[in-house]
Chains A and B, each alone.
Chain A
């Protein structure tokens, strides 16, 4: 008989097995890393005690890239090689960037893979690589502070990020050598930090206006479960845009022409004006008026900007955030009166006019007593701690949604929606198609994301083709295509011909993403002794997974072995023995195959256990109900 193990609630039975995990807020303007230590989530500062890492990377020909505050000074002296606000370019094609930005700050070059690159003194870099530089610095900071390697991280993304932008963020994490446990929506992360801190239950709205993105999320909080009811936003709207409007005003006042600036000299003037605009905006969060000083070719000019004028400039942008607020409430099917708190997140919510307008819209004063800069990273750290397995008995559960509808192109450039926006994830929808020609063996599909009815107004996520359809009479093939959005908000598409059972598991490769070869090449470039390293890494990964499978199976057989017939148990044990045999070898492919073989025979067992989990949970809950 097994002895009862007694441990304090919430504590792991083996404290030394506690895994190091961190939450990373990869922001447009600033990035942060946080971690849970002794039960408390906190921001991990750098050696100088600074919490915020400016999201700026400076590239030079002869030394390693410089990240953060040290890179900031190069904004004016070396603007083309100093990349800031790179988040705006994540998952975007050159065409997108050209249509969204009023002027291009860098020398963009087109590439084969649709991921544009920026020409720098250190060569051409993609937004993913620039982000990976920032992540690497945060990784290093965390590992120095925590004293060991990180086992996994949660990286936050704007809730309104589409599939391509999410995929790019995950790729950046991979490139920085991080194990990305989850992509977490920023407003959800903020809600977790806020909700756990205040012990709040009920419906809350999170208004998140950052440097370059805007999100509004409506959530229901209930005993540790954070259920997102709806989200809306704009991934190209933030404090940066306030700065640009103020900068334009400065130029008008000083009579500087606002043509597309390409010359380095002018770019540096431009950056000077933007910096001044940003400073003026910040000053006006605590004072009624501010003085702006601009120095061009030794000629100094000064200007006064008061609160009233600032409000006139930015009101249209603030108004632009209120329409999504209304839509989110409607999608959530929540009345204004039900919202018990409006949580303000993101540095731009320090702007007084933003607070005023939000208060007016939600008919209540927003919560401004939490730190809008750090709350997202703190929430991410809490989630990372749970996902790393440090809180096996915790209640915390986050249920998020798909921010934008997913659809397919149909005839006439129209979109047919498959998964509507604000559907809780994970979600799977299957749809059946047939062939329209005799003997047709291939078909292609175009997956798009967005709310508009024309394909050209939505965002193209990728085209994928289904090949090897058995040649049949037109209309008799039954091709079932399943669209699945996982807990990271990433889309996976699989297709299967139902009459013959031919399956082609196709992960939709977003047309804006990097190809696997590109990622592999980047990894290779970033490592010495690269090839051996990659091979060793792959073997190690398979061994880790195999060990996990073997241990999980042993525990499952011990607990629930009685769910299996003699025969079923025998075939599982045979496959498991085979895996044990190959795991210590150095053939990663043999291990992979053995895992797949075991998976096949154990599928029914895992399913039964999952269903038994469901029954147990419901039974336990209903018993409590009677007792109450």
Chain B
């Protein structure tokens, strides 16, 4: 595959930011109930099923809008993507590729989890071992997200550097998470 890429989201047509679109305050802590309620209201207005008998063009544009609203909803629903979006709204381009200096304690935890993960397949009950790792990961994630919340609840006063550091920690967890899930897929296939 030819290389070099950047992830861009198809945003043609939407001028509001995602928070405005859903009538929410620009903040890390959001009213999740209102988010999903307004998500349903927005989809009722634009979903392609509402335009099943319309012209091809209307249907095409409805698919585009529905996709944009889905994207905005997923970004706001996921605390991690919401945090990243808040950082970007401050005009900071968050760079995944930078290798930040991580705290030794954090790195130690990572190594322990990684070791546990590599032992999964040889353990007596691989499924149970994997479930344990996944729940540990979930716990660490919640901890980091809480700290992120403290930084980003008033995004204009946020310590972006600190927030970025936490984002990098989450990326470490993501990696472990997806590796765990790959092992789960293999376990599923081998059943």
Contacts and interface: CB of A to CB of B under 8 A. Distances in A.
A484 B61 contact: no
A410 B10 contact: no
Nearest to A410: B1
Nearest to A181: B52
Interface string A597-610: 00100110011001
Main secondary structure of the interface of B (DSSP, over half): helix
Contact of A614 (B10, B46, B53): B46
Nearest to B15: A611
A222 interface: yes
Given A430-B9, A618-B38, A397 B57 contact: no
Kindly state the interface size class of chain B when it binds its partner.
Answer: 35 or more
A429 interface: yes
Given A426-B48, A428-B67, A431-B7, A445 B42 contact: no
Interface stretch (B68-76, B88-96, B100-108, B154-162): B68-76
A222 B182 contact: no
A487 interface: yes
B73 A545 contact: no
A334 interface: no
Contacts of B43: 225, 397, 399
A453 B67 CA distance: 26
Given A487-B63, A545-B56, A552-B58, A607 B2 contact: no
B57 A614 contact: no
B25 to A, nearest CB: 14
B29 interface: no
B49 A610 contact: no
A474 B42 CA distance: 43
B63 A486 contact: yes
B65 interface: yes
B70 to A, nearest CB: 4
B151 to A, nearest CB: 23
Most central of A222, A320, A480, A606 by chain B CB within 10 Å: A606
A316 B188 CA distance: 12
B165 interface: no
Nearest to B55: A549
A548 interface: yes
B111 interface: no
Interface string A410-421: 110000100000
Interface stretch (A48-56, A191-199, A386-394, A527-535): A386-394
B65 A610 contact: yes
B45 A613 contact: yes
B73 A484 contact: no
Given A389-B53, A613-B45, A614-B65, A428 B74 contact: no
Contact of B191 (A220, A319, A388): A319
B110 to A, nearest CB: 20
Contact of B184 (A225, A323, A549): A323
Contacts of A430: 8-10
Interface in B23-39: 23, 36-38
Interface in A418-443: 423-436, 443
B17 to A, nearest CB: 14
A398 interface: yes
A47 interface: no
Contact of B10 (A225, A482, A548): A482
B81 to A, nearest CB: 11
Contacts of B164: none
B103 to A, nearest CB: 28
B48 A411 contact: no
Given A324-B188, A424-B74, A553-B55, 4 more contacts: A225-B40, A607-B61, A611-B65, A621-B41
25 contacts: A225-B43, A323-B184, A323-B187, A323-B188, A388-B53, A397-B40, A399-B43, A399-B47, A426-B70, A429-B7, A431-B5, A433-B4, A436-B4, A445-B1, A451-B182, A451-B185, A548-B53, A549-B55, A552-B55, A599-B56, A603-B57, A603-B61, A606-B58, A614-B45, A617-B41
